[in-house]
């Protein structure tokens, strides 16, 4: 079968040492092109410290006001756990044990300022929330786990059927974690 060149593909940041095209895989109309010495970094913000969801794909409306600026749950009453009325807010405030400026909390509604990721949008005061009604998913770009483990912080709801973080390896679920019905995040490895 004869092939004809239809386009030249070249990233903006290519260098001669990247070895772009060192490997190639074709699957129908898709091509995966290797660049074994590329210095390119993932565009995904793993700690959300850029104040946005770069590298994440959202569906629905649950993550519309994310990531959350500051320890927002520390400034409002929190739910008393799974099984109570939706969004029942009658418990004492709880710290999320935030590391840095931001975290993703679909209950929350306190995004960064459009002018500066280093400050909150003052339209949304401390403790502001959207509740449990919004739904959706947040999916990262594909990534490589270097080593044999991964860890992250998780808190919030504890219904493993509806509120969870799931790790897919080669498209198959391999880990599912949920909060402990507490705003306090805990480390999962």
Mean pLDDT of the chain: 85
179/147: higher pLDDT = 179
CA distance 82 to 148: 33
- Whether residue 48 has pLDDT greater than 60: yes
In this prediction, residue 79 carries a pLDDT of: 64
- Whether residue 88 has pLDDT greater than 60: no
Counts of helices then strands in the chain (DSSP H, E): 0, 10
Asked if 113 and 122 touch (Cβ cutoff 8 Å), the reply is: yes
Q: Is 78 strand, coil or helix?
A: strand
CA distance 130 to 111: 12
136: left (phi over 0), alpha (psi -120 to 50) or beta: left
Q: Is 170 strand, coil or helix?
A: coil
Question: Which of 5-9, 43-47, 87-91, 100-104 has maximum average pLDDT?
Answer: 100-104
How many CB atoms are located within 10 Å of the residue 124 CB?
A: 19
Tell me the CB-side half-sphere exposure of residue 18, using CA atoms within 13 A.
16
Q: pTM, whole model, 2 decimals?
A: 0.72
125-173: pLDDT as tens digits: 999 999 989 999 999 988 888 888 889 999 998 899 999 999 998 889 9
CA distance 121 to 113: 4
Give percent of the chain above pLDDT 70.
Answer: 86
In this prediction, residue 35 carries a pLDDT of: 73
How many CB atoms are located within 10 Å of the residue 180 CB?
A: 15
How many CB atoms are located within 10 Å of the residue 107 CB?
A: 23
Rounded mean pLDDT, 57-81: 89
Give the phi and the psi of residue 74 in degrees, each rounded to 5. -70, -15
């Amino acid at each position: 079968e004869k092939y004809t060149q239809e386009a030249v593909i070249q990233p903006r940041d290519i260098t001669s040492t990247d070895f772009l095209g060192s490997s190639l895989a074709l699957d129908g109309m898709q091509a995966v092109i290797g660049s074994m010495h590329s210095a390119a970094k993932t565009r995904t913000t793993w700690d959300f410290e850029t104040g946005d969801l770069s590298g994440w794909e959202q569906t629905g409306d649950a993550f519309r006001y994310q990531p959350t600026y500051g320890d927002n749950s520390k400034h409002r009453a929190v739910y008393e756990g799974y099984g109570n009325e939706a969004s029942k807010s009658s418990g004492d405030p709880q710290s999320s044990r935030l590391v840095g400026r931001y975290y993703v909390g679909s209950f929350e509604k306190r995004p960064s300022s459009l002018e500066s990721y280093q400050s909150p949008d003052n339209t949304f005061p401390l403790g502001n929330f959207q509740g449990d009604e919004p739904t959706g998913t947040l999916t990262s770009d594909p990534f490589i786990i270097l080593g044999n483990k991964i860890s992250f912080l998780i808190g919030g709801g504890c219904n493993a059927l509806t509120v969870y973080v799931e790790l897919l390896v080669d498209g198959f679920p391999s880990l599912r974690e949920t909060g402990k019905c507490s705003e306090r995040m805990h480390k999962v490895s």
